[in-house]
Chains A and B, each alone.
Chain A
Amino acid sequence: MYRFSFTFLQVIFLWVVLPVSAFAQSSATDLSGKAVDPLDSSRGQVAVLIFVRTDCPVSNRYAVLIQRLSAEFSGKAMFWLIYPSKAESAAMIRKHERDFGYKLPALRDPQHLLVKQSHIEITPEAAVFDSQRRLVYHGRIDNWYEDIGRSRSAATTHELHDAIQAALGGQDAPVKTAPAVGCYLSDTK
Chain B
Amino acid sequence: MSGVSRAVKWLAAVFLLVASVAIESIGGSENLRASKRPTAPETRTDPASIPAATDPAPVTFNHDIAPIVYHACALCHRPGEAGPFSLLSYSDAKMRARLIAEVTKRRIMPPWLPDEQGPKFADDLRLTENEIALIQKWVQQGAPEGDPAENSAPPHFVEGWQLGKPDTIVRATRPYALAAGGTDSYWNFVFRNPVDRTRWLKAIEIRPGDKRLVHHANVLVDRQETARHEEKEPGAGFSGMELTIESEVFDPDSHFLFWKPGSIPYTEPEGMALRLDKDTDLVLNTHLQPSGKRETLQPTLGLYFTDKPATLHPVLLQMENDGMLNIPSGDKAFVVTDEFVLPVDVDALAIYPHAHYLGKDMSATATLPDGSVKTLIHIANWDLNWQAVYRYAQPVSLPSGTKISMRFTYDNSAENIRNPNHPPQMVRAGNRATDEMAHLWIQVLPRESAGSGIDPRVLIQEAMARHMLEKNPEDFAAHYNLGALLQMRGDLPGSIANFQAAVALRVQDPTANNALGAVLLAAERPAEAVPHLKVALQNRPDYFDAHYNLGNALAAQGDFAGALGEFRAAVKLNPEDANAEANLGSALAETGNRQEAKAHYLRALRLNPNLEYARENLQQLDSATPQ
Q: Please report A residues at the B interface, Cβ cutoff 8 Å.
A: 55-57, 59-65, 87, 99-101, 146-154, 156, 183-184, 186-188
Contacts and interface: CB of A to CB of B under 8 A. Distances in A.
Given A64-B180, A153-B357, A57 B291 contact: yes
B417 interface: yes
Contact of A99 (B212, B293, B418): B293
Interface of B: 84-85, 94-99, 102-103, 106, 108-109, 111, 180-184, 212, 289-294, 357, 383, 385-386, 417-420, 422, 433
Contact of B292 (A100, A146, A154, A156): A100
Q: Interface centre among A154, A184, A186, by most B CB within 10 Å? A: A184
A57 B84 contact: yes
Contact of A187 (B97, B294, B417): B97
Contact of A100 (B94, B99, B293, B386): B293
A61 B181 contact: yes
Contacts of A100: 180, 292-293
A149 B98 contact: no
Q: Interface centre among B97, B180, B357, B418, by most A CB within 10 Å? A: B180
B294 to A, nearest CB: 8
Question: What does DSSP make chain A's interface, helix, strand, loop or mixed?
Answer: mixed
A153 B418 contact: yes
B96 A60 contact: no
A83 B110 CA distance: 28
A57 B109 CA distance: 15
A153 B291 contact: no
A61 B17 CA distance: 30
B212 A64 contact: no
Given A148-B102, A153-B183, A183-B99, A61 B290 contact: yes
A60 B422 contact: no
B85 A55 contact: yes
Question: What does DSSP make chain B's interface, helix, strand, loop or mixed?
Answer: loop
Contacts of B291: 57, 60-61
A65 B293 contact: no
Given A61-B291, A64-B180, A152 B417 contact: yes
B85 to A, nearest CB: 6
A147 B180 contact: no
A153 B180 CA distance: 15
A149 B385 contact: yes
A187 B108 CA distance: 18
A62 B96 CA distance: 20
B420 A153 contact: yes
B422 A63 contact: no
Contacts of B85: 55
Nearest to A55: B85
A100 B291 CA distance: 9
B102 to A, nearest CB: 7
Contacts of B98: 184, 186-187
Contacts of B109: 149
A150 B417 contact: yes
A1 to B, nearest CB: 55
Contact of A65 (B96, B99, B181, B419): B181
A100 B290 CA distance: 12
Nearest to B184: A153
27 contacts: A57-B212, A57-B291, A59-B292, A60-B291, A60-B292, A61-B290, A61-B291, A63-B181, A64-B290, A87-B95, A99-B293, A100-B180, A100-B292, A101-B294, A148-B102, A148-B108, A149-B103, A149-B108, A149-B111, A150-B417, A151-B417, A151-B418, A152-B417, A154-B183, A183-B99, A187-B99, A188-B95
A63 B180 contact: yes
Contacts of A184: 98-99, 102
B422 A154 contact: yes
A55 B92 CA distance: 12
A146 B418 CA distance: 9
A184 to B, nearest CB: 4
A62 B292 contact: yes
A146 B417 contact: yes
Contacts of A153: 183-184, 357, 418-420, 433
A64 B181 contact: yes
Contacts of B181: 61, 63-65
Nearest to B357: A153
A36 B103 CA distance: 36
Nearest to B295: A99
Contact of A147 (B108, B182, B293, B420): B108
A156 B99 contact: no
A114 to B, nearest CB: 20
Nearest to A185: B98
B295 to A, nearest CB: 10
A149 B102 CA distance: 12
A50 B109 CA distance: 27
Contacts of B182: 64
A188 B97 CA distance: 9
A149 B417 CA distance: 12
A186 B142 CA distance: 11
A160 to B, nearest CB: 16
Nearest to A63: B292
Q: Interface centre among B84, B289, B419, by most A CB within 10 Å? A: B84
Given A63-B181, A149-B111, A187-B94, 7 more contacts: A62-B292, A63-B180, A64-B180, A146-B417, A148-B108, A153-B419, A153-B433
A100 B433 CA distance: 27
Nearest to B417: A146
Contacts of A150: 108, 383, 417-418
B293 A187 contact: no
Contacts of B292: 59-64, 100
Contacts of A151: 417-418
Nearest to B86: A55
A6 B212 CA distance: 60
Contacts of A61: 181, 289-292
Contacts of B102: 148, 184
Contact of A148 (B103, B383, B419): B103
A152 B293 CA distance: 19
Contacts of A65: 181
B143 to A, nearest CB: 9
B417 to A, nearest CB: 4
Nearest to B94: A187
A63 B108 contact: no
A160 B357 CA distance: 27
A56 B98 CA distance: 14
A154 B182 CA distance: 8
Nearest to A64: B181
